[in-house]
Structure 1
Amino acid sequence: MASPSHAQGRPDVAGNWLVRVAGPQPFTLVLSVDEHGGVLTPRAMSRYQTIFPSSAARTDSGLVVAAAAWEREHALDVAVRGDSLRGSWSTAGQAPAPASGVRLPRETLAPLTGTAVFDSVVGVLERHFYDPGYNGADWARLVAEARPRVAAARSDGEAYAVISGLLRAIGTSHLYFTAVPRISRPPSTSTQTPTAPAASTPSVSWQVLSPSLGYLRIASFEPSGESLPPEVARMDSAFAEMAELPAIVIDLRGNEGGSVDLAYRLGQHLQREPVAAGYFVIRHGYDARGMRAAAALDTVMVPALPTDGSVTGAMLGQAVYAAGGAAMLYIGGGLARPYTGRIAVLTDENTGSAAEAVAAMLQEARGAVVVGARTAGAMLSSADVMVAPGWRLRYPAMDYRTGAGRRLEGDGVAPDVPAPPADRAALLRAAAQALRVPPP
């Protein structure tokens, strides 16, 4: 029997929706809208849980969803016609961005109701989650409490909330469960003829600020595969131009990490000989040694990975496994004329993962001065796996310690010189003072 709202001619808004938001920074959101007893409950099932819907309300033509994202409040206001929606995504103080979407066909996402997907998520973590102690969480109890709640869930959104809550209870970074549906024709936010995509912003950029100071910006360590060589070439050009400067500033603010590949090249430019960049431990390494924490590992006995750059980011996990589940990564060496001047590193609370490891390595092994704010404290090496059609689990597969044995996960890299991280000019002045060169 139709609900009262349907009887009044209002559209059916419940279900799983793929929503595309246009604008300067477009994104795609998988949104679940549950309806029980006339109450709408929205949940974001993608975007690595960075969008948090708080409420949903019907309108005569569709619905309005309130959400928090990127430290701001937003609203999705759309009209629903059958299995499509169209409207706007608005943010206070900004012009609304066009939004459109489609109701996802059932075959694009395996149902979360029941326990099949839940059991798959639990199974992956019990085999591969790096820490047998689950970061201090009572894993067996958490699973036992969550399983009947998933079994009783009336919708994907309701089950998703339980699974996501289970993962959050572990209290670790790099642990996300997200929807990645495959549909042949994604929603479009425009009726105009599509234009060619804009060229992507390079990850590496640089500037000679003065005869005494250079500036190297690394926005991401993500480049790998075919996208890596151009960024390596840009890094090589940067150091060729700044080779004779007495000091340089390396800006890692907002750099959320990525692979070791570009970081390896950076190390070659800054270290004449390979230095210990840190060691990784996987679940196999814990189990084989009967350890409950990586701190119990005797680093003198940790085998070294090859220093010739043959261990790429894609191969790192396999190389650590082959080394017995724990291995030390060395970075540097291989270039005739590495840069020998003084270094400062700019960081903020969004400097994460591999970028934190680079900041720590330069601080420990190169005497770099870290300027800005404490980093994110999210340094674990992760892996992705499809646990069911349309559902991806990212999980931390390796723990990490710096060459000096520091654990960055949950703590981050503390700055040597605290400074407002958003004020580039102030940061550069503070860095120049720490490097004993005139400010730019």
Structure 2
Amino acid sequence: MTPSLCRYLIPAFLLAPMLATAAQAQTRPTVAGNWLVRVQGAQPFSVVLSVDEHGGVLTPHAMSRVQTIVPTSAARTDSGFVARATAWERENTLDVAVRGDSLRGTWSAAGQPSLAASGIRLPRETLAPLTGTAVFDSVVGVLQRHFYDPAYNGADWPRLVAQARPRAAAARTDAEAFAVITGLLRAIGTSHLNFNAVPRVPRPASANAQAPRAPAAPAPSSAAPVVSWQTLSPSMGYLRITSFEPSGEALPPEVVRMDSAFAEMAGLPAIVIDLRGNEGGSVDLAYRLGQHLLAAPVAAGYLVVRRGFDSRGLRTAAALDPATVPALPADLPGALLADSVEAAGGAGMLMMGGGLARTYGGRIAILIDGNTGSAAEATAAMLRETRGAVTVGARTEGAMLSAADVMVAPGWRLRYPAMDFRTAAGVRVEGDGVILDVPADPADRAALLRAAADTLRLPAP
């Protein structure tokens, strides 16, 4: 080999790895963007995952209503990316291959079977850009007009907004701007306040169109009923209510089940009502429960909107005399609750009970835990005051405010607390939880029932 030939071969030899790396980089898929990911399994869920890439470093951020998913890191692979997240108290891994504007892979956690994951990169028109200050200002405007508390839960609202707005203006990506907005909301330190992506994915224009498709929705499942019951002994019945969400067409079947439960247990000296894990919902099913336990309507708790504070010159509901709060109709549907409070001058008293020919007159115990929240907390607190129910288990979540949803920009929804709640005696549940009478391990049903029986002075079931 001649020296001149070596002069050409050596640079080529040195360039070969560089050229191979460049070729590999060209074939690696683009992973940055906003992804709608659906995970299959017994309880399917969707999450909008934003993936940013700067200098080869990936940063993931969950931007959907699934608040229990907190991405912690992400890294590229030859075919896509791997993201790690904390979800439902476990470390999880999303490992996907990206092909064009779709992805497919697995969602897994240690000791758990892997679940299939699929998704699409969201078209830009499904989510308004968060960069700039337009959406930030819209969020701030809604809260300044409608956030229930004029004192913003003790936060220095003007200072927080002044500090956050320049960061929103400087954000380079949706995920960065999302972090600024959600950080502002967290600084208030209240429940029922969040900001999330809720994209509507357009359908292809024709059957032959090649537009990406959203992950298929799961087939309807035979979900367990919300209301169930059991006669535990000749002296004690058990009523389980897993949610107060049923409303509209879903409400009547659960009302029938509740009516059947009380008809079957009418002669028992005591009933244990299990609200553990019940995260709340509407007041409709709670009203029916109250009808079975209270013969006539009684003042159970009051709600106050921003107008109620401003018109009375108040900074807190603690300064409001419950005796001056107008009563709302006892049969008021939950869907009309907010408008009725507004029409009543910004404050309204919930009336619970009455309307049935026969009510249950025995003793009541209510099982609660840290996942009992919102309307379930209000129900427990109101029955404790109005019916003498004893609470057994652990302190509740302390997240009892009435919320409203508003679309602040295409694809972006703000949920904010629109009404404060106090019991008729003026007791606040938000931040404090329901007063606990008998501490017991909320995970041990048998121990809870024994504690309830002992408190009600009945034989253990």
Tell me which interval the TM-score lies in, with the shorter structure as reference length.
over 0.9
Question: Does 2:102 match 1:81?
Answer: no
**1:247 aligned partner:** 270
Aligned counterparts, 1:40-55, within 5 A:
40-55=58-73
Matched, 1:188 2:180: no
Query: Is structure 2 residue 66 aligned with structure 1 residue 66?
Result: no
Task: Give 3-state SS (helix, strand or coil) of 1:49's partner.
Answer: coil
1:324 & 1:429 partners in 2: Cα distance?
A: 46
Residue 131 of structure 1 and its aligned partner are, at CA, apart by: 0.5
Aligned to 2:446: 425
Residue 457 of structure 2, aligned match among 414, 428, 436:
436
User: Match for residue 140 of structure 2?
Assistant: 122
The offset of 1:336, in angstroms, is 1.5
Determine whether 1:352 maps to 2:379: no
Query: What's the counterpart of residue 223 of structure 1?
Result: 246
The residue identity in structure 2 corresponding to 1:201 is A
Q: Where do residues 373-388 of structure 1 align in structure 2 (5 Å cutoff)?
A: 373-388=394-409
CA distance in structure 1 between the partners assigned to 2:227 and 2:455 by the alignment: 24
Of residues 277, 285, 289, the one that matches 1:266 is: 289
Confirm or deny that 1:90 pairs with 2:111.
no
Q: Which residue of 1 aligns with 2:231?
A: 208
Q: Superposition pairs for residues 78-157 of structure 1, below 5 Å? A: 78-157=96-175
1:5-16 matches, cutoff 5 A: 7-16=25-34
Partner of 1:172: 190
Contact 2:37 2:119 in 1 (8 A): yes
Counterpart code for 2:412 = W
* In structure 2, distance between residues paired with 1:188 and 1:408: 39
Query: How far has the Cα of 1:250 moved from its partner?
Result: 0.3
The verdict on how the C-alpha distance between 1:196 and 1:142 changes in structure 2, with shifts beyond 3 A counting, is closer
Partner of 2:316: 293
* Alignment counterpart, residue 315 of structure 1, candidates 313, 329, 336: 336
Contact 2:299 2:349 in 1 (8 A): yes
Matched residue, 1:409: 430
Deviation, structure 1 residue 6:
7.2
Name the CA distance, whole Å, in 2 between partners of 1:266 and 1:410: 25
1:196 deviation in Å? 4.4
Deviation at 1:224, TM superposition (A): 0.7
Q: Which residue in the other structure is 1:33 paired with?
A: 51
Match of 1:364 among 385, 391, 399: 385
The alpha-carbon distance between structure 1 residues 29 and 267, as it changes in their structure 2 partners (threshold 3 A), is: same
158-167 or 177-186: which moved more? 177-186
Secondary structure of the structure 1 residue equivalent to 2:232:
strand
CA-CA distance at 1:91 after TM superposition: 1.2
* In structure 1, distance between residues paired with 2:54 and 2:447: 53
Conservation of the 8 A alpha-carbon contact between 1:6 and 1:12: no
2:3 match: none
C-alpha distance in 2, partners of 1:66/1:366?
48
For residues 4 and 155 of structure 1, do their structure 2 counterparts lie closer, same or farther at Cα, with a shift above 3 Å needed? farther
- In structure 2, do the counterparts of structure 1 residues 147 and 285 end up closer, same or farther at CA, with 3 Å as the change threshold? same
Retained in 1: the 8 A contact 2:366–2:391? yes
How far apart are the structure 2 equivalents of 1:276 and 1:50?
A: 36
Contact residue 48 and residue 177 of structure 1 kept, 8 A: no
Q: Deviations over 1:208-247 (max 9, x none)?
A: 1111111100000111111111111110010000000111
Compare CA radii of gyration and give the structure with the larger one: 2
Say if 1:4 and 1:132 are closer, same or farther in 2 by CA, change over 3 A: farther
Query: Is contact 2:384–2:391 with CA below 8 Å preserved after alignment?
Result: yes
CA distance in 2, matches of 1:420, 1:47: 30
For residue 354 of structure 2, what is the aligned residue in structure 1?
333
Structure 1 gaps of 5+ residues are: none
- Cα separation, 1, equivalents of 2:420 and 2:221: 37
Aligned-pair RMSD on alpha carbons?
Answer: 1.5
CA contact (8 A) 1:378 1:409 kept: yes
- Gaps spanning 5+ residues in structure 2: where? 1-20, 204-212
Answer yes or no: is the 8 Å Cα contact 2:92–2:107 preserved in 1. yes
- Are the equivalent residues in 2 in contact too, given 1:214–1:247 (CA < 8 A)? yes
CA distance in 1, matches of 2:219, 2:379: 35
8 Å CA contact 1:277–1:357 kept in 2: the answer is no
- CA 1:338 to 1:394, structure 2 compared with 1: closer, same or farther past 3 Å? same
Could you tell me which amino acid in structure 2 is paired with residue 365 of structure 1?
Answer: T
Distance 1:78 1:5 in 2: 21
Counterpart-to-counterpart distance in 2, 1:343 and 1:145: 50
Task: Quote the offset at 1:201 in angstroms.
Answer: 2.0
The Cα of 1:414 is off from its aligned counterpart by 2.8
Deviation at 1:5, TM superposition (A): 9.6
CA shift for structure 1 position 303 = 0.9
Task: Please tell me whether the aligned partners of residues 48 and 176 of structure 1 are also in contact (alpha carbons under 8 angstroms).
Answer: no
Structure 1 range deviating more: 390-399 or 269-278 = 269-278
Change (3 A) 1:4 1:419: farther
Contact 1:31-1:42 at 8 Å conserved across structures:
yes
Equivalent position SS for 2:27: coil
Which of 229, 236, 240 matches 2:259? Answer: 236
Indicate conservation of the 8 Å contact 2:37/2:215, yes or no. no
Poorly superposed stretches of 4+, deviation over 6 Å: 3-6
Structure 1 pair 4–211 and aligned structure 2 pair: CA distance change class (3 A): farther
Distance 2:348 2:201 in 1: 41
The percentage of counterpart residues that share the same residue type is 76
